[in-house]
Chain A
Amino acid sequence: MENGEHNNQTADGNGNGIIVIKNLTKKFGDNIVLDNISLSIEKGKTTVVIGPSGCGKTVLIKNFIVLLRPSSGEIYFKNKRIDNLPERELNTIRIHYGFLFQGGALFDSLSVAENIMFPIRQHYNTTDWGHVEDVIKTKLAMVGLDGFQNYYPANLSGGQKKRVALARAIALNPEVILYDEPTTGLDPIRADIINELVLKLQRELGATTVVVTHDMTSAYKIADRIIMLHNGKIIADGDAEHIRNHPHPVVQQFITGQVSEDDLAVLRASGSVAKAQFLPRDFKE
């Protein structure tokens, strides 16, 4: 807020956000990853969090469902404070969420169908296996992978794993879907398939969507709102247009993919690469 980013921020809790974060700080030892962040995620919208690798995007969305506990600050889901709940009560909150992990985090020892069945079996005492099979089929069809029920994660490509993981994340028709770098490591075509999927799921499930990414193409395509993290703070917050025209030099460097003058200076100062090469043992000048 020091940068005049007031859009949509409801640190004072005006209650229309489905997820509300107040003064969240997260430290690991002396490493302050998130520094007094306040944020409100609007229901039904797609919010994209951008920022360079290691800036704390994953830590931020793991705090949303209290997979990590804040060092200080408060987290609300539907106006209920959740950061101080015991794990057992959190489990009843978490079934309203779908979380797509960066690497998919599919269970290696379970088949695709069993992976998607996992949350269903954990939370419903169903014996109607025909119905469960139908649900699995529908979810896999949504991500374009019907027919892969009996595959194991080891036999899937990176993009397929992410799509199966997505099918698992939406198995219980969550109200909120959190995506951790859904397009990272995919080729542009497969990345765009994921973008379309994110949009489609948002349309069909009406889910509130939060996407963490450093892929600007993806961000522009899916976002209603873009938030940029830098040094543990939110330095930009607004729609795609607002971000494109943002005056902050760090934002401009990031969205245009340009290295800063400081980093360039370091590169220049490090001297010639050729000089640093090793010479053969028998080299004589």
Chain B
Amino acid sequence: MIGAIGANTVEDVSDIGRFGRFAWRAIKACGWSIGRTATYPLIWVQMNIIGVRSVPIVMITGAFVGMILAVQAYDQLAGMGLEEHLGVLINISVVKELGPVLTAVMLAGRVGGALTAELGTMNVTEQIDAVRSMGTDPVKYLVAPRLLACLFLTPVLIIYADLLGVLGGYFIGVIQLGINSQGYWDFSAYGVDMWDVAVGVIKGFFFGAAIAVISCYKGFTCKEGAHGVGQACTEAFVTSFMAILALDFALAVVFKAIYNTFWPMKSLVG
């Protein structure tokens, strides 16, 4: 029993080592790829697949988040006569946390699943070996364009989600519940600054990279058969989800430290 757990742990540790090497190769391949215009069409194709087709789903998610927050928070704030603060509450939650995290989770499901399934199928049908057999590095050819596309587009998609979240909150708060529009926006502008938006968008780079690297890794190491591909997809999503939450926590700590270093007064006043 203890032996089995031990063996499992050794397996997991060596798996982390393999993942680390894979991630490092992927990052190097991205650098290589950016330096070569010949690889741009490949990136462009992936951007279309990964980014453009995710726009509707991300916008719908954003809009619902804004609307749900408005409905949930309104009664509590109204009870204290603070309903005009609804704007700042919704908007700061959306741009700092919910927009980035929920967008990333949506992408982990939609894009990560598709990446793992595609690369996993290529793996079990020997297409990745075929790339290698023709003297090409599959990490450069297959992983780098996907990683770069996720890296560039996740922040953009987060901005879409933020916009729709803000509009959704406005729609419920001002149009449906009749909060004074002037007050709603004044408090929002006072409470949300560029820093908050930037934090959310910068998180997007990390989330996008994590989703792409994890999903590609799971595809590359997927076991044979339809069962293997399915299992790899599930693992890719679960691992990406955990990584998003862990990164969100780590980045929150880091950004807080940065913020307190550069704008120490603001937190006293605000």
The interface of chain A, by Cβ under 8 A from chain B, is 62, 65, 67, 87-88, 90-95, 97, 99, 101-103, 105-108, 118-119, 122-123, 168, 172
Are the CB atoms of B126 and A94 closer together than 8 Å?
A: no
B134-142, B186-194, B208-216, B260-268 - the one binding chain A: B134-142
Are the CB atoms of B130 and A99 closer together than 8 Å?
A: yes
Are the CB atoms of A105 and B125 closer together than 8 Å?
A: yes
Give 28 A-B contacts (CB < 8 Å), ordered by A residue. A65-B133, A90-B135, A91-B137, A93-B135, A94-B133, A94-B134, A95-B134, A95-B135, A99-B130, A101-B130, A102-B126, A105-B125, A105-B126, A105-B129, A105-B130, A106-B127, A107-B122, A107-B130, A108-B122, A118-B134, A118-B136, A119-B135, A119-B136, A122-B135, A122-B141, A123-B135, A168-B134, A172-B134
* Interface contacts beyond A91-B135, A101-B133, A123-B135: sample of 14 additional A-B pairs, CB < 8 Å, sorted by A: A62-B129, A67-B129, A87-B132, A94-B133, A94-B134, A95-B134, A99-B130, A99-B134, A101-B126, A102-B126, A106-B130, A119-B134, A122-B141, A172-B134
For the complex formed, measure the closest distance between the CB of A46 and the CB atoms of chain B, giving whole angstroms: 20
Interface size class of B (residues with CB under 8 A): 10 to 19
A107→B129 CA distance, assembly (Å): 11
Complex A-B, nearest 6 residue pairs according to Cβ-Cβ distance, in ascending order: A105-B130, A99-B133, A91-B135, A105-B126, A119-B134, A94-B135
The interface of chain B, by Cβ under 8 A from chain A, is 122, 125-127, 129-130, 132-137, 141
Chain A residues in 8 Å Cβ range of B127: 105-108
Are the CB atoms of A67 and B132 closer together than 8 Å?
A: yes
A129→B137 CA distance, assembly (Å): 24
Are the CB atoms of B135 and A92 closer together than 8 Å?
A: yes
For the complex formed, measure the closest distance between the CB of B28 and the CB atoms of chain A, giving whole angstroms: 11
Are the CB atoms of B133 and A67 closer together than 8 Å?
A: yes
Contact of B134 among A87, A108, A122 (CB under 8 A): A122
A116→B229 CA distance, assembly (Å): 27
Chain A residues in 8 Å Cβ range of B135: 90-95, 119, 122-123
For the complex formed, measure the closest distance between the CB of A276 and the CB atoms of chain B, giving whole angstroms: 27
Are the CB atoms of A103 and B134 closer together than 8 Å?
A: no
* Chain A residue at minimal CB-CB distance from B141: A122
Contact of A103 among B126, B136, B141 (CB under 8 A): B126
Residue among A87, A94, A122 having the largest count of chain B Cβ atoms under 10 Å: A122
Are the CB atoms of A122 and B132 closer together than 8 Å?
A: no
Are the CB atoms of A97 and B133 closer together than 8 Å?
A: yes
Chain B residues in 8 Å Cβ range of A118: 134, 136
Are the CB atoms of B125 and A103 closer together than 8 Å?
A: yes
A65→B130 CA distance, assembly (Å): 11
Chain B residues in 8 Å Cβ range of A119: 134-136
Chain B residues in 8 Å Cβ range of A172: 134
Are the CB atoms of B125 and A87 closer together than 8 Å?
A: no
A88→B137 CA distance, assembly (Å): 8
Chain A residues in 8 Å Cβ range of B129: 62, 67, 99, 101, 105
* Chain B residue at minimal CB-CB distance from A125: B38
Chain B residues in 8 Å Cβ range of A90: 135
Are the CB atoms of A87 and B126 closer together than 8 Å?
A: no
For the complex formed, measure the closest distance between the CB of A180 and the CB atoms of chain B, giving whole angstroms: 9
A253→B122 CA distance, assembly (Å): 36
For the complex formed, measure the closest distance between the CB of B6 and the CB atoms of chain A, giving whole angstroms: 16
